[in-house]
Amino acid sequence: MRVKVILVCEECLARNYETTKNASKQTERLEMKKYCPHCNKYTIHKETR
């Protein structure tokens, strides 16, 4: 089953992206390097709960 997750910038804590993940196969939090329009640079974005 795929669940919707929200990605948050680690630097400015802005909620920038929504994506999905397979909850049964990936149990740890999702972490991606994405562009943050608020910081105007590429930062690490983590999944919120």
Query: What is residue 49's predicted lDDT score, i.e. its pLDDT?
Result: 80
pTM of the model: 0.86
What is the rounded CA–CA span in Å between residue 41 and residue 22? 28
Give the burial class of 3: count Cβ atoms within 10 A of its Cβ; 0-12 exposed, 13-18 middle, 19 or more buried: exposed
| Residue whose tokens read 């196969």 | 25
Rounded average pLDDT per 10-residue block, the chain, 49 residues:
95 95 92 96 94
- Full set of structural domains in the chain with CATH: 2-47 (2.20.28.120)
Q: Which residues contact 24 (CB under 8 A, 6 or more apart)?
A: 1
**Contact between residue 35 and residue 11 where contact means Cβ atoms under 8 Å apart:** no
**Contact between residue 49 and residue 8 where contact means Cβ atoms under 8 Å apart:** no
